[in-house]
Chain A
Amino acid sequence: MRLWTGFVGSVVEAWAELRIHRTRVLLSLIGVAVAVAALTGIVALGAIAQQSQIETMERQSGRPATLMISTYNPVTGQTPDAVELGEAFASTMDRYAITWHSRNAYTNMQIQFPDGVRDVQTQVVDREFGVMHRVRIEHGDWFSAVDAERLAPAVIVNEYFWNLLGSPALSTHPTISLPGREPTTAVITGVTPSPPFEEYPSMFLLTSAWDRIVSPEMKAQTYPSYEAWVPLELADQLTVLIQRDISGALGTDWQTDVLRNDYLSYSDEDPLLFLKILVTGVAVLILLLGALGLVNISLVTVRHRIREIGIRRSFGATAGRVFFAVMMESVVATVVAGVAGVALAVLVVKSPWVVEFVAAGIDDPPAFPIEAAFIGLASSVVVGALAGLLPALVAVRVKVIDAIRY
């Protein structure tokens, strides 16, 4: 009971003290609020940057866990018949109910542009590839299920390609002519963004369309690889099973490799560790500066309160109670500042300008990370306790009668 009333009494005291000295408290806490806002904001922006980096890596090498399957003759280096390999791959995917899988082949096609014929880097993929590699679409849409049935194949071109054509509206169904056994008219249904350094035309074409239009010679020169996006926890198991099944289907002449290629497979260490350490380091530094300012002000303040502390001691406040009350003042104040700082950080991080600047191009912009808010609040409590420690020690050492006559 005494402990409980002691605790409530300390909080009441602390709150009254903060209320009475609100101007001083406000001024001293601006630094803490800004520091907490910076810490929380940096942690939150770090999470967004991390998401951005993850998405970039997933665009390049697939989402975790992406298995890359390749088959070849270990003696001659030749690849097996594409149809046979395709069937072996498809039946294996069906067996393990893997729905996210795609073929992936690179080739070049000569396309007629208004200013002449150009080589266009062409990536031949299945529809699932778009989700598996987070392919971003600037205009139009990624391939749909019905695109496989189109007589005029759908193509998705990059922005550079689209600009060479004069950026025609997709609603006008702009067409291009694809080379092959005979020229085929294709319809541009989507445009992917081109980063500033990407100054060449490229496009995506569905595997089903590719199979229909290209000549056997051209097909023979193209070596598709196969990818499967599987649950992370099953990746190791499925690696063995897929390797075994495809090898079994193709015969002993062929060797099948199944390898993980997503960013999480690069090493055991977190590839974002450096970024995290950097962000944490900056955040802690900012908070330390805020804490130092608070300690400074708290120490000066407690010296001005020596008489008041002496009076409280004469009323029966124990040394422990005075210590706790001074600490509580600091903690209550910094928690209030922490809440303000976190609110400020949320406002800043979620402001349209920052979102556009930092989170541009992110498919799944993360919600304001709850851990950032938690870290901000927890830090404010720790800073409050640390900043209150020295003044509390000074307060406990006050000699009562000397203090009263101070």
Chain B
Amino acid sequence: MSLLRLQGVTRTVELPDAEPLHILRGVDLTVDVGDHVSVVGRSGSGKSTLLNLLGLLDSPTSGNLEFDGVPLGRLSGAERDRRRGTDIGFIFQQFNLLGGRTALENVMTPLLYAPGKQFWRRERLAAEMLDKVGLGARLASMPEQLSGGEQQRVAIARALVRGPRLILADEPTGALDIDTGAAVMTLLDDVAESSGAALITITHDPNVAALARRHYRLDKGVLTEVDVNRVLSLAEGVGTL
């Protein structure tokens, strides 16, 4: 059974005094446990809307979206929220660490929404996860005391601390230099692989997209699978997004 399945998914926004805006048109996508998928696209191509749908933050206008075999429409708002907390980890371009909190407290934050043992053992679990991403010595550091790469590693630890089955990375290297970005992606790929989670990277950086095993291009709301050479050609400036 697929972890995530989209069939003919559309997303349309009604606009006042204007034609409806078709953001996503007939998107088909299947993601299995352990998959690594990248989606590249220009600004305005519908990447954010797709991310909202994949993260159970929005509902399609039409089509079918199933998470773990359960149609999205069958889940109540609170059930979606809980499933998001349990099964989905988000990594953002701007890291989005919570200010005024240490690295440890940031990684502990998702565990505040976990039930049972994960909640009561949150400090230990968070420390172990930070150790796993190489920040075992920076537990008490505030976000502003960390470099960009370190902040993104904290964000990765935070996304993975509840053991999600799907990691959604939204421009994960967008705020990092090339070398740091590459290091972060390698780490992300490694921890995702070792945890068996599926990784979907949404990016406009072909080099980052090329690291995935399957590659998609989103253009004007239409999602098309492309091969890695096509993605790499974009990176070399031969093709266009």
Residues in chain A within 8 A of chain B (CB atoms): 1-2, 5, 8-9, 12-13, 16, 20-21, 307-308, 311-321, 400-401, 404-405
Contacts and interface: CB of A to CB of B under 8 A. Distances in A.
B108 to A, nearest CB: 9
Nearest to A22: B100
Interface centre among B51, B81, B84, B114 (most CB of A within 10 A): B81
Given A307-B96, A319-B78, A401-B51, A5 B115 contact: yes
Interface stretch (B11-19, B23-31, B85-93, B193-201): B85-93
A317 B85 contact: yes
A304 B98 CA distance: 13
B100 A21 contact: yes
B78 A320 contact: yes
Given A317-B85, A401-B48, A9 B96 contact: no
Contacts of B90: 314-315
Contacts of B96: 307, 311, 404
A318 B88 CA distance: 14
A69 B119 CA distance: 75
Contacts of A321: 81, 113
Given A308-B98, A318-B78, A404-B92, A5 B119 contact: yes
B8 interface: no
A12 to B, nearest CB: 6
B114 A318 contact: no
A316 B113 contact: yes
B57 interface: yes
B213 interface: no
B240 interface: no
B77 A319 contact: yes
B82 A314 contact: no
B86 A316 contact: yes
Given A314-B84, A316-B114, A405-B48, 8 more contacts: A8-B119, A13-B112, A20-B99, A311-B92, A314-B55, A318-B81, A318-B113, A320-B78
B239 interface: no
B172 interface: no
Interface string B136-165: 000000000000000000000010001000
A401 B57 contact: yes
A314 B82 CA distance: 10
A394 to B, nearest CB: 17
Interface residues of B, number: 34
Nearest to B86: A316
12 contacts: A5-B114, A16-B105, A21-B100, A313-B57, A313-B81, A314-B57, A314-B90, A315-B113, A316-B81, A316-B110, A321-B81, A405-B48
A331 B26 CA distance: 48
A202 to B, nearest CB: 72
B116 A5 contact: yes
A42 to B, nearest CB: 37
A315 to B, nearest CB: 4
A63 to B, nearest CB: 59
A401 B52 contact: yes
A318 B82 contact: yes
Nearest to B112: A9
A316 B99 CA distance: 19
B59 interface: no
A364 B82 CA distance: 60
Interface in B61-90: 77-78, 81-86, 88, 90
B109 interface: yes
B22 interface: no
Contacts of B86: 316
Nearest 5 pairs of A and B residues by beta carbon: A316-B85, A20-B100, A315-B110, A318-B81, A9-B112
A311 B98 contact: yes
Contacts of B113: 9, 312, 315-318, 321
B81 A317 contact: yes
A345 to B, nearest CB: 32
B48 A316 contact: no
B101 interface: yes
B55 A1 contact: no
Interface in B6-53: 48, 51-52
Contacts of A318: 77-78, 81-82, 113
A2 B79 CA distance: 13
A8 B109 CA distance: 13
B81 A319 contact: yes
